Structure 1
């Protein structure tokens, strides 16, 4: 019990010390939920044994009462590892039934085994708190499922977007920059308040034109209203990230429809393409800020599907009912027995709720639409922002993997912030995507005239001539890490253009191949086979299984360079990557250094974007599952290309099979 208490304490106090988050690491959640699922049966058995040992005593023994106390306290803490499933379906009801059966069982132990009035009152208060938290969460989730603002929002928003785009028309040749954002009618909040009538093709929304056109209308708060109001509001003008947060929230609601089988129409994708590249991108926004908009969007999605705190329902109304009225009633019981566990849990949940982006968007919309609140909110919002900036890291991070460095099973993967250079290259390449410049697996970069390195095109293009994107990634990854290991950047010197982007994206793409093959467009089994073959080849070069796991970076570098010099005709991933790396190392002269890294930076940007668009429903489902782990950077890019309608060029159709007629 002491170990369990320490785990919960560390989980609450230290695991989020650098970031306030409403989601829990899925590995930690699985471990704790599995442990707690075994806890009640085991402790019930021990309670029964302790009760039987008491014999015919008038009251339970101290040991039995201690076990019962722990069972009640753990039930109060259990919600820390249970996500709030607003769209849980049958699984959500199953979890509710399990929780109700546990609370019911604990109630029977309390009220049918304790005889003393004082003891029954003490334990009864703990049981009432556990039951109250169960009822509170059940009512909140059920109301959310039936609400057009939460559970039923995707189908409502699908009708809203269709009718809204028809009203405003499609003008892709209008003004750019700030005007595009001021004309944006994407709903931030309030669309559920519109009068609606169900029809054969969705909901018909009455008075939609009036709601989105009137600047002072409080029914629907749109992105355009926020951006227009920001020009005259000092607080929003000083901190443009606040209005960008509202845009992230609006985009999150649009992307959520795609995850719940409501497709994004071509008209909407075209409109969003204009919003991103004519609005955001031409509003003097650098790549880092633009990427942060979509990163915040993915954070909203993560918290919607995998939150353990009710930030999804963040609003001043919910805040009053859930965190003022309910705690008053609960504290009336808790203060009698000084139940610090419950107090701590409420305080932490309050902090997470108060600092969540959901609550911030709600406050901003109230600030923009309710004049009588503005004086108060102008004091509250900057304070919350300052606390958020202190506790949160706005940068986007991703994992790094290297075939040179990863040599032991227990070696943890490093985490690296996505370089600003990589974000800028990504947004610049996305802005150039067109019919004449489609995404490729890197071949287009090699054939580009600006990347000539006194190398014939066939000396590099063979490295992209593969149907497997995993093979292309691993080949170029090996070449990149060999070049980086050969010519390390001296500390204190400015890196060459493209170097940081190339090394970071190379490590992340290799990480996707090794640990998240489902997020790549190729078949999962095929990707795993390519990676398994690469590991097998590397083990053979390192001298077997033992040599593979004991080898260090320098050993692997030496062996791979030997492969590059001795095996010019082999077509394995290891030999191809080593040969390609040797080509760059041989051309890496003082005058070509900048061009080498610029080529690699653009190539890895191309490869990164090539794998981002959805290749099928299984691929889209993999992105949805990745949200359980907090989301991946590739999912941020997937969100951008999904919103803007950017896709890979269609693959050439296979030749039809010939029909052979056999005469009798």
Structure 2
């Protein structure tokens, strides 16, 4: 790189996460409590302030990855050590890890879809103050002119209201008020954005004099506690193949004319209502992530071997990963009516994890194929073929009882090399007496490993685009795995 493009930065001017963590100010110091709140709550609030700076630092690394730059192995090792031995080591580490990634993705969202990344440069405060001064002066000058405004003699009744106020004065006043509201809302969202919080915390760390002033600490704490709308809804989108295969989109929306304006809905593409992302799901996935020993992820095979059910490995060795997802999803859906009876039991937790992740990965197949390992065209083709097979075989059966009766009454179905046939075969093996007592543990472990296998992706743009639609759970996993440089085992599939 040419020397004229390099910018030398003095180490004394650099502010690192280490300096933030070692800050002795009351706002960030780890030891001690508060007279106004329990020590655990006080420590948690301090960790949230530190984690905001950590999210910003990780965002810069993620931005390099998006631009196509690679990091040295040592950088990934340090990042993985921070995640595994730092964030995930605590009892509620899964919550903290997701919070850090959530804020990191907020920075990424702002970088691509707002102006915050440009506004918060070295002179952002002076520029914003100058802008506000111009607005205030402009409003004052316009208001003064309106007070002395006199319309030329006119007999047109349309230009005057019954109370004598002219229409042009009213419209001008409304435009001024609207302009002021928009400007104020922009300033409000900027002032309480994550970018502003990082700036305040960094200034607090750099200025020793601030660390002894309670009123400055109170201002920073108040600013940092305000949480604005987040791009991620903290929900899992769901899709149930056996309840949607017969869906036929309306002709009003699916035709050649509307195709020029909206994406066409395909047969069977009917999304179920999103559900809340349960803490059990987050905990199960991140516990599995923490226990990863190899940097090459498998597509569920390791979980089957650990549970001593190698007989099911055939369902992980199909032609495409989309087929693997659909076959296991169909089998899981058939087993879902055998739900555990006791709520809160380990078996119920496994049931919750397995069914939620099964429907989520099926949603990715139907609605977000770019986030899957297969090429989007391959995923769409496999999905469409599976819909055709289901519509042909089930022939209008809509209830789960009728669907189960249909597959149990056809002994030859399990021998077919279709998605439906393989799903029926897998379902039969799962409900066999050999696996009956541990069926939901097998499925939960499998789906946890499979969602981690799906998460790594070279298509960073697809993840960024989904941030505008509320974000995806798999994007959060993609971020964690990217920092650790954990990838798929490309010899699979």
Q: TM-score range by the shorter chain?
A: 0.7 to 0.9
Q: Is the 8 A contact 1:521 1:611 kept in 2?
A: yes
Matched, 1:485 2:323: no
Q: Give the 5 Å matches for 1:537-616.
A: 537-543=389-395, 547=396, 552-554=398-400, 557-558=403-404, 561-562=407-408, 565-587=411-433, 592-593=436-437, 595-614=438-457, 616=458
**Cα deviation, residue 537, structure 1:** 1.0
Deviations 1:264-285 (A, max 9, x none): 2222112211221122222444
For the structure 1 residues 314 and 480, does the alpha-carbon distance in structure 2 shift closer, same or farther, using more than 3 Å as the test? Answer: farther
Secondary structure of 1:297's counterpart equals: helix
Equivalent in the alignment of 2:165: none
Instruction: Point out the more displaced range, 249-258 or 314-323.
Output: 314-323
1:298 aligns with 2:92: no
TM-score by length of 2: 0.76
- Secondary structure of 2:336's counterpart equals helix
CA change 1:232–1:474 in 2 (3 A) is closer
Residue among 455, 460, 465 paired with 1:625: 465
Q: Distance in 2 between matches of 1:556 and 1:304?
A: 51
SS in 2 for 1:360: helix
1:434–1:505 Cα change, 3 Å = same
User: How large is the RMSD of aligned CA atoms in angstroms?
Assistant: 3.3
| Structural mapping, 1:428-439, within 5 Å | 428-435=287-294, 438-439=296-297
Q: Return 5+ residue gaps in structure 2 as ranges.
A: 35-41, 147-172, 251-269
Q: Distance in 1 between matches of 2:487 and 2:291?
A: 13
Measured after TM superposition, the shift of residue 258 of structure 1 is 1.1
Would you say the 8 A contact 1:245–1:296 is kept in 2? yes
Aligned residue in 2 for 1:226: 20
Contact 1:315–1:359 (Cα < 8 Å) also in 2: no
Alignment of 1:191-206 (within 5 A): 199=3, 203=6, 205=8
Match of 2:137 among 329, 341, 351: 329
How far apart in 1 are the matches of 2:118 and 2:52?
15
Alpha-carbon displacement from aligned partner over 1:124-146 (angstroms, at most 9, x marks no partner): xxxxxxxxxxxxxxxxxxxxxxx
Tell me the distance in 2 between the aligned counterparts of 1:334 and 1:476.
67
Distance in 2 separating the partners of 1:513 and 1:555: 25
Matched residue, 1:143: none
Q: Are the aligned partners of 1:302 and 1:630 in contact in 2 as well (CA < 8 Å)? A: no
Deviation of 1:251 after TM superposition, in Å, equals 0.4
Shift of 1:607: 0.6
1:280-327 per-residue CA deviation (whole Å, 9 max, x = no partner) reads 2224442122122112212211121122x6466347963563264343
Distance 1:553 1:249 in 2: 49
Q: Matched residues in 2 for 1:279 and 1:412: separation?
A: 38
Residue 532 of structure 1 corresponds to which residue in structure 2?
384
**Aligned position for 1:96:** none
Residue 56 (structure 2) aligns with: 249
Q: Distance in 2 between matches of 1:520 and 1:556?
A: 32
Structure 1-normalised TM-score? 0.58
Distance 1:577 1:278 in 2: 39
- Separation in structure 2 between the aligned mates of residue 372 and residue 466 of structure 1, nearest angstrom: 64
Partner of 1:98: none
Are 1:403 and 2:241 matched, yes or no?
yes
CA contact (8 A) 2:52 2:100 kept: yes
Is 2:165 aligned against 1:358? Answer: no
User: Which structure 1 residue ranges, 5 or more long, are not aligned?
Assistant: 1-196, 212-218, 654-664
Question: Partner residue of 2:302?
Answer: 444
**For residues 410-421 of structure 1, what are the structure 2 equivalents within 5 Å?**
412-421=271-280
CA distance 1:539–1:228, change in 2 (3 Å): same
Aligned length: 426
